[in-house]
A and B are shown apart, each in its own frame.
Chain A
């Protein structure tokens, strides 16, 4: 079944390559997303298959959580995508570019799925690199100078990261070679972690961390992220932010799990905390006075990736908070990007100054934008409030007042920055005659974000017991307290 999850999107992508019709291409997109989601649900109902293909693939609790997020977001994005493509085909895109877009999207799904079900470090590396290659054409969809520039930066910086991660993989296998262990299968590595050569393991971890965290948007290597997110079509931005960054995070976590089993957790925690806070600081600086609302959301992703790193670095109860935070961030950020896409289509600008009076012009999107701003900045009663509170409390319990203060300061700065921009767009003065929105909303553009909004509200005030049970299990895997 895991193999089917990985292969089905790729196979269907190949068939789309030979299609001549808009309709079948779009139907394939939605169909694949539904099949993928159904299979993902099945992985929750059946016992976990942790070792298939000699243990190279397998699904553990951590992988299943990431897989579920990927699958859910792809389902939502594919429905939104059909509406988006229908609009853009009237505007400019030819049938060839559209089908190529769908092919790249499906390959993107395939590669992200592979990342989540990977139990082998070399294959994980291949899968993460493959996500870069599959998503690069998606960013270049609009064929403009800016999108070309964004694609170029994305490829160069992420390939640089991936090359560093390859070096990390070398160091990993050298650290095992000292005691004659050459298997790169995750479970085996965990088992003989205490016998790994410690200097090489440290080098390996640092290199893997830098390599994968580059892809995750960790500051100061985040520079590709705002460009790629702001130039890509909005549904792609939603997937990049909500699903792809998580996949890179999974790469970091896998390396961390092994390092932890080898007793290196104490050595690594300051690295996580430091880079987490630096990412939040960068995000805060660039969000205040941001003039492009998609870039604002992109920097907010840098911030939340920083919070995830911080939570792992703190360990203990914060890891549970981090996992909860990841789910919340993925849902909310994906919704916000989809809404931003509606705003962009309606106003034909990404400038925060030019957009005003959202609530009148686009009532549904305006309301969702408002809700999303509340949720993403961590106000109660939304999920991110709970998770940020847990992380803060852990920092205080561990007697790290400086971390706690910086965490709060950055959160407050980002809150003010996002709200002053977001509220002006929402309320503001109604646009003048010439700047009336050019398009009205329709079901394809509002339905998917509304669906996400319902999920966000459901997860808000109280975490379902089922979810909390699983998150505790996942947190235990990465050094948290159950």
Chain B
């Protein structure tokens, strides 16, 4: 129950809201970086007992991958494809923010219904905010059309799952490390290879242009 955890979590909520309400790719990438660093710090503070060295390594690993590596890769990808904004969101930014508020309420409700195995040891707001991050990511994935913003949404989803996992890292011996591994493999596969090829083949990275494969209208 450290006040620092609460303030970090509030910053986390703000990053999600900014992701929902902004159209600039630079902002997206900054928010990814902020979330990555926050997760690294939270790893150290949220843990309850257990193996200290493991958490230190996790904190370093998650900061390095989520807070530094991904933002750098994303920044490089945006330079490569010359786009600055998400131009055609399916749902507008104001609308997205309103939906975000509903998602936050929903997350609070859901986590109030799930019993925590070791009550008192886990900060009350970690779970709701993890759920909020996951929901935000799902919403972004549906409502943003560029390939690169979908990759960003996917990273946000991973961040949410990681945040969800931190308090339970003691009970789930390797799961959280597996999450980081998934980050790395998918991140490198999707961003490194696919973005490069899509850019070369389509000369743009709009997922809407990936639409030659579909079924004829009924």
Interface positions of A (Cβ within 8 A of B): 122, 125-126, 129, 133, 136, 140, 145-146, 148-153, 155-156, 159-160, 162-163, 166-167, 169-170, 173-174, 176-178, 182, 184, 197, 199-200, 203, 226-227, 230-231, 285-286, 289-291, 295
Contacts and interface: CB of A to CB of B under 8 A. Distances in A.
Given A163-B161, A174-B168, 9 more contacts: A133-B185, A136-B189, A173-B168, A173-B175, A177-B117, A177-B171, A182-B173, A197-B115, A227-B213
Nearest to B194: A152
12 contacts: A125-B178, A148-B194, A148-B201, A149-B212, A166-B179, A170-B168, A176-B171, A178-B115, A197-B115, A197-B117, A231-B213, A291-B216
Given A145-B212, A177-B117, A159 B186 contact: yes
Given A149-B210, A167-B164, A155 B215 contact: no
Nearest to B158: A163
A152 B215 contact: no
B134 A167 contact: yes
Contacts of A169: 172, 175
A227 B201 CA distance: 18
A160 B182 contact: no
A199 B182 contact: no
Contacts of A295: 215
A159 B190 contact: yes
B171 A146 contact: no
Contact of B161 (A125, A148, A166): A166
Contacts of B185: 129, 133
Contacts of A200: 114-115
Interface residues of B, number: 42
A152 B147 contact: yes
Nearest to A295: B215
Contact of A170 (B157, B164, B202): B164
B55 interface: no
B212 A146 contact: yes
B218 interface: yes
B143 to A, nearest CB: 14
A173 B218 contact: no
A176 B178 CA distance: 19
Contacts of B186: 155, 159
B213 A146 contact: yes
B154 interface: yes
Contacts of A286: 215
Contacts of A173: 168, 171-172, 175
B141 interface: yes
Contacts of A290: 215
B175 A166 contact: yes
B172 A155 contact: no
Contacts of B201: 145, 148
Contact of A166 (B141, B182, B194): B182
The 5 closest A-B pairs by CB, nearest first: A177-B171, A173-B172, A149-B210, A177-B117, A227-B213
Interface in B111-151: 113-115, 117-118, 134, 141, 147, 150
A122 B114 contact: no
B210 to A, nearest CB: 4
B39 to A, nearest CB: 15
Nearest to B114: A199
A416 B186 CA distance: 41
Interface string B178-199: 1101100110011000100110
A126 B215 contact: no
Contacts of A133: 185, 189
B180 to A, nearest CB: 11
Given A152-B194, A286-B215, A170 B175 contact: yes
Given A152-B198, A156-B190, A289-B216, A166 B171 contact: no
B197 A178 contact: no
Contact of A155 (B134, B190, B216, B218): B190
Nearest to B185: A133
Contacts of A122: 174-175, 178
A291 B213 CA distance: 12
B23 interface: no
The CB with the most chain A CB atoms within 10 A, among B168, B172, B179, B185, is that of B172
B165 interface: yes
A176 B175 CA distance: 14
B165 to A, nearest CB: 5
A290 B216 CA distance: 8
B171 A182 contact: yes
B211 to A, nearest CB: 8
Nearest to B168: A174
A230 B213 contact: yes
B154 A177 contact: no
A153 B210 contact: yes
A197 B171 CA distance: 14
B164 A163 contact: no
A371 B57 CA distance: 59
A353 B154 CA distance: 39
A167 B114 CA distance: 14
Contacts of A231: 213
Contact of A156 (B113, B154, B174, B212): B154
A145 B164 CA distance: 38
A151 B194 contact: yes
The CB with the most chain A CB atoms within 10 A, among B174, B181, B215, is that of B215
Contacts of B164: 167, 170
Contacts of B181: 126
Given A122-B175, A156-B154, A166-B161, A285 B218 contact: yes
Contacts of B147: 152
A290 B141 CA distance: 29
Contacts of A153: 210, 213
A109 B121 CA distance: 44
Contacts of B211: 149
A160 B118 CA distance: 30
A167 B157 CA distance: 10
A286 to B, nearest CB: 5
A126 B174 CA distance: 11
A170 B172 contact: yes
